[in-house]
Amino acid sequence: MATSIDLNADVGESFGPYSIGSDAELMRSITSANVAAGFHGGDPGVIRSTIRMALAHGVAVGAHPGFADLAGFGRREMHLAVQELEDLVLYQIAAVAGVAAAEGGRLHHVKAHGALYNMAARDDRLAGAIVRAMVAVDRSLVLYGPPGSCLLDAARAEGLTFAVEGFVDRSYEPDGRLTPRTVSGAVIHEPLAVVSRALRMVRQREVVAKDGSVLPLDLDTLCIHSDTPGADVLAAAVRAAFEQDGVQLAPMVCRARAGQ
């Protein structure tokens, strides 16, 4: 069986008059799109046209729920009651899923955004809330998240398919965590370095950590940060390298659906 990987990016984060990202270009390279659901970014028109673009490119559509904090772009921690969070995520998944269906598609996955992603990765109550919202909508949805996280545990406990996510342009600590953005060298900007890391992540299933140690990493999906300048060029370079190397590019298949 050929090695396969998914390339995902956060898209649809423009709002009203405000444009962010280069979604149209990214769609040519990625295989799954995390569509902002209207709370940390995105609006009904942006969501619909982004989904339409994704479907036209054969890109899998995911919901990208975040905190209701447009001014902070969902990147500021907010402390919600667990039930509040479940309802917030359910509403956002439901909206994106419904718009995807209206456009002739089907929601494929869910990836939490920003502070919610980070908080739920380390808090099993928040992770549980996200998973319960997904289960209420559709058990065949795939949850994206980091390796070794509460999100992974919560998804598996409920029988949801989980896609382990890596970051091609971020430095890793020896323990497998991302180097915090506040630390120098946390973000890798050099395209050749990014491409080389991406290939090693997929081919050797490992990454060289910040201290030079080699870290095993078994990934299903790689994230391209869409708000990095030149993200579309980087995504194209990574995709080209994979294609040349014979790596198959495809979104992860839900195990439940695969077994149908």
Contact segment (CB under 8 A) with a second copy among 15-23, 149-157, 165-173, 175-183 equals: 15-23
Residues 55, 59, 131, 137: which binds a second copy (CB under 8 A)? 137
End-to-end CA distance of the chain: 20
Burial of 192 (0-12, 13-18, 19+ CB in 10 A): exposed
Cα(242)–Cα(131) distance, integer angstroms: 31
Strands 60-64 and 206-208: unpaired
- Per-residue contact flags (x/-) with a second copy for residues 213 to 252, judged by CB under 8 A: --------------x-------------------------
* Count of chain residues binding a second copy (CB under 8 A): 47
User: Which of 148, 180 has the CB closer to a second copy?
Assistant: 180
Residues 28, 76, 156, 205: which binds a second copy (CB under 8 A)? 76
3 binds a second copy (CB under 8 A): no
Cα(225)–Cα(118) distance, integer angstroms: 15
Q: Say if residues 22 and 61 touch (Cβ distance below 8 Å).
A: no
84 binds a second copy (CB under 8 A): yes
User: Which of 117, 242 has the CB closer to a second copy?
Assistant: 117
190 binds a second copy (CB under 8 A): no
Q: How far is the CB of 242 from a second copy (least distance, A)?
A: 30
Is the alpha carbon torsion for 188, 228, 117, 166 positive or negative?
negative
Q: Which segments of 123-190 does DSSP mark as H helices, in order?
A: 124-137, 150-157
Cα(107)–Cα(225) distance, integer angstroms: 21
Phi/psi for 228 (5° steps) reads -75, 135
Contact segment (CB under 8 A) with a second copy among 42-50, 189-197, 216-224, 247-255 equals: 42-50
Q: How far is the CB of 70 from a second copy (least distance, A)?
A: 6
List contacts with a second copy (CB under 8 A): 15-20, 38, 41, 43-45, 47-48, 68-73, 75-80, 83-84, 87-88, 90-99, 101-103, 115, 133, 136-137, 227
